[in-house]
């Protein structure tokens, strides 16, 4: 399977995850974002344990901790961004949060271009890109940035009549903006770490394992914090917590294919994968009944057109 197919699967997985993250968020529960993090840690930890026998590095105790140190910059940026994103969903609609957050795809692409230029790798990367790759990537980036701008404008218009469940004022937008910043750093770090020529020598399965164990630790920290802060035992296995479990499964499903997509073509895959916000927006419209404007639809179709161009390019390359 090509990086393009992996990216498409990742887009679908993370788009569904956003929907269930929103269903898991409660504006009246100030700790709902930490409870989501507990579930994501559980699922990622389980997958990491299951994948250990397939590790390219065959981790022993020493090499495992070395791997954690190597991958910690990317994993910590991701974990911080995700928990911030969960918090933002307590106050903002999915169709507002997801596009603003995922402008990180465009920013991380720029970051990686600068880095690969610095290390002398950029020529070989662009040699692998066709004119369709370039046009498709540009369309996706423009579409996502335009959608993020449209969402901010619309959120200001709706703020006066929206209830507190979705909006608590202009400060609420700080959540997706901060997510964008940390996710940009995490995606760029991943692209560099996974690059075959200048990376850190970690295979795709190793990255999934290390990220899973890192998030398991983060989830455990959140669970302990909840116990200390609320003086109550948080039981994540109650039936009412099932949307969090589904969200975590979708997140990990997308994460697995994301790693393979990024290792195959980091500069093009980063903005494409970030376009999962399009799936989030469509699901929010269909299932959560969030209303979309014409300007939003235009941005959505632009991103889809860019993805189609990348698909055509990949098909021609394999022909």
Alpha carbons 152 and 155: distance in angstroms, whole number: 5
The pLDDT assigned to 172 comes to: 58
Q: State residue 317's pLDDT score.
A: 59
The pLDDT of residue 166: 46
Question: Per the structure, how many domains does the chain have?
Answer: 1
Alpha-helix runs per DSSP H in the chain: 3-24, 32-51, 61-88, 94-101, 104-118, 122-127, 131-158, 174-194, 204-230, 242-264, 266-274, 277-286, 294-318
> What per-residue confidence (pLDDT) applies to 167?
46
Residue 290 confidence (pLDDT): 66
**According to the model, what pLDDT value does residue 284 have?**
75
Q: Which domain, by its residues, includes 108?
A: 3-318
DSSP structure string for 170-182: GGGGHHHHHHHHH
pLDDT less than 50: residues of the chain: 164-170, 319
């Amino acid at each position: 399977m090509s990086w393009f197919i992996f990216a498409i699967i990742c887009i679908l997985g993370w788009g569904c995850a956003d929907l269930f993250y929103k269903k898991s968020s409660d504006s009246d529960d100030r700790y709902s974002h930490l409870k989501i993090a507990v579930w994501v840690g559980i699922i990622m930890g389980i997958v990491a344990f299951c994948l250990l026998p397939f590790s390219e590095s065959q981790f022993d105790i020493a090499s495992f901790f070395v791997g954690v140190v190597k991958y910690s910059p990317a994993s910590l940026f991701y974990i911080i961004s995700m928990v911030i994103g969960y918090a933002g969903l307590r106050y903002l609609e999915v169709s507002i949060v997801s596009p603003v957050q995922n402008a990180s795809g465009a920013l991380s692409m720029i970051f990686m271009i600068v880095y690969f230029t610095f290390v002398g790798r950029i020529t070989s990367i662009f040699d692998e890109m066709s004119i369709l790759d370039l046009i498709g990537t540009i369309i996706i980036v423009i579409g996502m940035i335009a959608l993020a701008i449209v969402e901010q404008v619309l959120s200001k218009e709706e703020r006066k009549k929206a209830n507190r469940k979705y909006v608590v004022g202009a400060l609420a937008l700080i959540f997706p903006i901060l997510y964008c910043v940390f996710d940009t750093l995490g995606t760029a770090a991943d692209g560099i770490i996974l690059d075959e020529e200048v990376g850190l020598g970690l295979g795709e399965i190793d990255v999934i394992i290390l990220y899973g164990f890192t998030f398991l630790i983060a989830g455990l920290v959140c669970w302990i914090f909840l116990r200390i802060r609320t003086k109550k035992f948080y039981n994540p296995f109650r039936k009412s917590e099932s949307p969090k479990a589904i969200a975590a499964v979708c997140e990990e499903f997308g994460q697995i294919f994301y790693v393979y997509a990024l290792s195959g073509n980091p500069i093009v895959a980063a903005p494409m994968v970030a376009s999962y916000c399009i799936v989030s927006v469509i699901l929010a419209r269909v299932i959560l009944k969030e209303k979309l404007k014409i300007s939003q639809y235009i941005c959505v179709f632009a991103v889809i057109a860019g993805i189609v161009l990348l698909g055509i390019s990949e098909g021609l390359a394999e022909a």
